[in-house]
A and B are shown apart, each in its own frame.
Chain A
């Protein structure tokens, strides 16, 4: 409870002080109609108290320590008066339509910017320039048609799910050498809209998710640093071995809910450290080749395909078990193959009987 007490102290300390809206008058300067030019001389100024200094916080938002919580307020634009030392700015679930050039001016210490679920269509090319410390940028559920330009180089996580982006250009991610997580599902991407070399600057990316888009193939040229790749809910028809080339760190690959009928020979050899592969809900007619030779794969989902036969050598190596990790999950239900035709010895390198799902029942 230590931090609880600390927080409460800080909260009460903050709220006990009078606050000041220092930016309140800024827009007056733009008012050329000149409505409030009051003659100053007539104002009796005599021993007036000084304007209060203290924490600044946009009305209705909550500013505690360095977190500015402004979600669910119906805001139509980014508010003024965001404290300059803010670390996290939460603006989700508002009605912001546009990010303007000076909206984040001076927020040099901002680490996380959450703009999820607004109506943002345009972001000024220089809007993110002040954000030299930004690590997380959440832009999901907006109406962006392209990736924002000039995203901060310090960025580690970009979430831009559910927008209207069609293209990944070579310039889209240029210089983003610190990105670790990139989630860009539910955008109308097509393979033809992905320029070659688009991902080449992402030297440290470990998680990429491009689900529920119009991709018909695994994009080529993905960075070798990748440990998770999620491409479920696309229109991929075939796993091409060369699209996985170089992904030597890949541990999880999600390809569920595509239209995959073929996994090319040699595909699994490209990803020697794969642990988990989801190929459920596709159009496979056979178990993908290369599983017995793969040393680390532990979980493979193949349910809801068109697999009509399973051979005794489909999963496990012949003779001595040369696998370094036993399977902990294999799903084969909802396939035409009758389970009584699958020989028990097929699963000799499985950790536990319960790890196999054969029957035509769905896992909850």
Chain B
């Protein structure tokens, strides 16, 4: 839905003065967004700034741009959420302001709100009732603020929550309670430790994409949602990967563990993620190629550059019987390791599509 939303945003922000070439697209997207936001009751609206209306000035906060139910108030130096936001608004962009606090009534009556962007403010406080009655909210972006915890009482139907670069150290047990449709959760650059994730915090969630990079994790958390298809934990302090760490995440397609301090990957780990397509283990302290890669039928990309790998075996990547592999590798990186490339047998890469799929030399990627 965020796509529709973003497309809609793209097309609709300032929809009034713009004359788009493809008007049908616009109408279609707008229609979808409105339906999606579920406005089943109102028939009027869609005022594109009616200049004859005596109250038109009150319909949009000064210096913001309001059109087609999108309110664009970014970069204005606002210190609080402005008044006069039309109640039927679908999207509010308040990025890059100086808002310090979200008060109880800041978004009162905005039951149709679909997307709320509060990125890059100085928000340290959100009133526990500030987001109540936002049942249609799908996108909530709170990145680059000063929050110390996941806001309480988040709207239950959010699809995507971005809360990058705040000061959150704990994920409280009730943080995501009832948020079954939260598919994308990005909360990197917060001082989250493994102990800070309370037991059961992710219970009954169906998240697909989760990123907790640039945090203080010392191991792969074991009780993240089992529905994950993408897990990104780069730039943490993870020291090793144990077999049981990934047991829960059988649906993983992409795993990002670059820039950690991983010394070893336990035997049997890879067997837990049979569908995996792409693994990044670059910039770690691995001494050898992780065991079990050659059993992964769909693995296509493995980054192992900038580790301490000093030898590569002929069967480290490819199965002994070639038919086992369902998709060929398209990228294996091994540069910036102590292993000498002339000591690696060419047959090691027999299941790579094209010899340029392998990066061996000791040069850094651009």
Contacts and interface: CB of A to CB of B under 8 A. Distances in A.
B39 to A, nearest CB: 13
A20 B54 contact: no
A88 B10 contact: yes
Nearest to B335: A35
A38 B349 CA distance: 9
B280 interface: yes
A288 B27 CA distance: 44
B35 A35 contact: no
Contacts of A74: 213-214, 235
Interface in A15-35: 15, 18-22, 24-25, 27-29, 31, 33-35
16 contacts: A4-B1, A24-B301, A27-B366, A35-B360, A36-B356, A36-B358, A44-B350, A67-B7, A88-B10, A116-B95, A159-B75, A162-B96, A183-B75, A207-B17, A299-B57, A364-B80
Contacts of B359: 28, 36
Given A39-B346, A228-B65, 13 more contacts: A7-B1, A11-B183, A21-B301, A25-B357, A27-B365, A49-B326, A77-B366, A140-B96, A181-B65, A206-B17, A207-B14, A276-B62, A328-B55
Interface stretch (B122-130, B184-192, B194-202): B184-192
Contact of B54 (A25, A211, A230, A351): A351
B300 interface: yes
A299 B360 CA distance: 68
A19 B253 CA distance: 10
A11 B65 CA distance: 32
B261 interface: no
Contacts of B10: 87-88, 111-112, 135-136
Most buried by B among A38, A72, A326: A72
A88 B300 CA distance: 26
B143 interface: yes
Contact of A62 (B33, B62, B184, B214): B184
A113 to B, nearest CB: 10
B184 to A, nearest CB: 7
Contacts of A11: 183, 208
Contacts of A341: none
Contacts of B35: 2-3
